[in-house]
């Protein structure tokens, strides 16, 4: 058994044996006497970072950690997986701890495979600790690739800055050269700063579950914030930005991450459009793979993307037009960040494009009702 899971199970099994059957009685007594009550198991479980459930004798969930809720291990007051529920009942019946593999859907074709450690307590309640082993393996592979790719990407601006500084040191009195080279140093420094910022953002995204801080987000507010951010840039580039569709729709997720994803798409659309072009952000509902979703589409009539490059644009550091990307400050991380955010919210991102006609990137997030104006 996983050491962390075993420790958590041992801790809560001990608490359950010593106090699991009496905490409700102590709470009632405290309410009558106004005496403070020490934290119970139900109070402690929500504080844990791991996916932990405390299941009662009638299969009802007495307490669940935020991670258990975000993964779908807990669905309301019920266990979110039939195999896991069966393992809970078996552990309660036999009094023996067990393990079970569980696969849970997280949205559009996205699932998570968990190893659940199930341990019975003396009062017929059961504790569950679910561990995403696949995530640990994915993180190890991602870290290796991340370091290798990042080292290569950082060499370009750092090397350019070093060469420019050396050239300046050789001709410090040539005013024209100083002005030209110092301008290029500033450009490379800006590019390096943006690259580091994107790397930090990607690192944070990979280490956090956005659904732990999810709230209801009105799409109109999201779109408005993003378009306000890029109004000046669009004006400088001669690009007109429009919005369309049902902006009162509501999605459930991390507001900051969703805004980052949409902002990356809008920025790319502006950067890869010609003067007097048009960029449109449209919103609608749809059904994909049997799931109701909200679609946020960003459409431009820019240079477009060839068929053989359309999947590669979601690879880290890949750029369709390196020269144009360099001029616009592109890092090749914007679209990978968009895909990561969409998938972390149980959705996905798709691309339609034709060379010379433009592109449409569509983020699809499972819907969550309709808000007010």
Write down the pLDDT at residue 370. 42
Q: Which of 79, 97, 131 is the last residue of a domain?
A: 131
**194 and 241 part of one domain:** no
Q: Which residue has the higher pLDDT, 302 or 20?
A: 302
pLDDT band at 149 (very low <50, low <70, confident <90, very high): low
- Give me the percent of the chain exceeding a pLDDT of 70: 75
Write down the pLDDT at residue 225. 94
**246 and 344 part of one domain:** yes
| CATH number where 123 lies | 3.30.450.20
| CATH number where 353 lies | 3.30.565.10
| CATH number where 138 lies | 1.10.287.130
For the whole prediction, is pTM greater than 0.85?
no
Q: Is the pLDDT of residue 97 over 70?
A: yes
Write down the pLDDT at residue 36. 53
**17 and 139 part of one domain:** no
Q: Is the pLDDT of residue 2 over 60?
A: no
Q: Which residue has the higher pLDDT, 136 or 318?
A: 318
**337 and 223 part of one domain:** yes
What's the 3-state SS for the chain?
A: CCHHHHHHHHHHHHHHHHHHCCHHHHHHHHHHHCCCCCCCHHHHHHHCCCEEEEECCCCCEEEECHHHHHHCCEECCEECCHHHHHHHHHHHHHCCCEEEEEEEECCCCCEEEEEEEEEECCCCCEEEEEECHHHHHHHHHHHHHHHHHHHHHHHHHHHHHHHHHHHHHHCCCCHHHHHHHHHHHHHHHHHHHHHHHHHHHHHHHHHCCHHHHCEEEEHHHHHHHHHHHCHHHHHHHCCEEEEEECCCEEEEECHHHHHHHHHHHHHHHHHCCCCCCEEEEEEEEEEECCEEEEEEEEEECCCCCCHHHCCHHHCCCCCCCHHHHHHHCCCCCHHHHHHHHHHHCCCEEEEEEECCCEEEEEEEEEEEEECCC
Q: Which of 207, 230, 251 is the last residue of a domain?
A: 207
**322 and 201 part of one domain:** no
Q: Is the pLDDT of residue 296 over 90?
A: yes
**95 and 168 part of one domain:** no
**83 and 144 part of one domain:** no
**64 and 109 part of one domain:** yes
The whole domain housing 183 covers 133-207
- Give me the percent of the chain exceeding a pLDDT of 90: 32
Write down the pLDDT at residue 291. 82
pLDDT band at 40 (very low <50, low <70, confident <90, very high): confident
Range with the poorest average pLDDT among 34-48, 163-177, 215-229, 347-361? 34-48
Q: Is the pLDDT of residue 19 over 50?
A: no
Write down the pLDDT at residue 352. 94
pLDDT band at 169 (very low <50, low <70, confident <90, very high): confident
Write down the pLDDT at residue 302. 86
pLDDT tens string 236-267: 888 999 999 999 999 988 998 999 999 999 99
Write down the pLDDT at residue 9. 54
pLDDT band at 44 (very low <50, low <70, confident <90, very high): confident
Write down the pLDDT at residue 162. 82
**121 and 250 part of one domain:** no
Write down the pLDDT at residue 66. 87
Q: Which residue has the higher pLDDT, 27 or 268?
A: 268
Q: Which of 188, 207, 226 is the last residue of a domain?
A: 207
**122 and 174 part of one domain:** no
- Closest CA relative to residue 290, chosen from 124, 105, 165: 105
Write down the pLDDT at residue 83. 92
**190 and 245 part of one domain:** no
Q: Which residue has the higher pLDDT, 19 or 296?
A: 296
Write down the pLDDT at residue 89. 95
pLDDT band at 157 (very low <50, low <70, confident <90, very high): confident
Structural domain count, the chain: 3
**48 and 172 part of one domain:** no
Range with the poorest average pLDDT among 10-14, 42-46, 328-332? 10-14
């Amino acid at each position: 058994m996983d050491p962390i899971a075993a420790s958590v199970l041992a801790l809560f099994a001990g608490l359950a044996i010593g106090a699991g059957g009496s905490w409700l009685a102590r709470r009632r007594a405290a309410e009558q006497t106004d005496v403070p009550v020490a934290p119970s198991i139900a109070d402690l479980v929500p504080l844990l970072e791991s996916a932990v459930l405390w299941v009662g004798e009638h299969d009802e969930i007495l307490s669940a950690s935020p991670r258990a809720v975000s993964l779908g291990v807990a669905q309301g007051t019920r266990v979110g997986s039939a195999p896991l529920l069966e393992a809970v009942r078996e552990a309660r019946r036999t009094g023996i701890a067990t393990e079970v593999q569980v696969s849970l859907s997280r949205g559009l074709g996205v699932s998570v495979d968990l190893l659940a450690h199930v341990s019975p307590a003396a009062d017929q309640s059961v504790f569950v600790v679910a561990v995403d082993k696949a995530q640990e393996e994915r993180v190890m592979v991602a870290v290796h690739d991340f370091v290798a790719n990042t080292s290569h990407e950082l060499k370009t601006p750092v090397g350019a800055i070093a060469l420019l500084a050396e050239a300046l040191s050789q001709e410090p009195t040539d005013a024209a050269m100083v002005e030209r080279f110092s301008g290029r140093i500033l450009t490379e420094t800006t590019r390096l700063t943006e690259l580091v910022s994107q790397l930090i953002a990607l690192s944070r995204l990979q280490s956090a579950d956005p659904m732990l801080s999810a709230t209801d987000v009105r799409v109109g507010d999201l779109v408005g914030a993003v378009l306000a951010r890029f109004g000046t840039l669009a004006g400088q580039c001669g690009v007109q930005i429009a919005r369309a569709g049902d902006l009162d729709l509501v999605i459930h997720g991390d507001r900051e991450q969703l805004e980052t994803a949409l902002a990356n798409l809008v920025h790319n659309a502006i950067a890869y459009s010609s003067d007097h072009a048009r960029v449109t952000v449209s919103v609608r509902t749809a059904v994909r793979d049997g799931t109701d979703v909200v679609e946020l589409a960003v459409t431009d009539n820019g240079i477009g993307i060839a068929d053989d490059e359309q999947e590669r644009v979601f690879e880290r550091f890949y750029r369709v037009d390196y020269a144009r990307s360099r001029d616009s400050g592109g890092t090749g991380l914007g679209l990978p960040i968009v895909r990561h955010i969409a998938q972390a919210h149980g959705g996905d991102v798709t691309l339609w494009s034709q060379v010379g006609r433009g592109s449409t990137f569509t983020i699809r997030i499972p819907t969550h009702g309709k808000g007010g104006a």
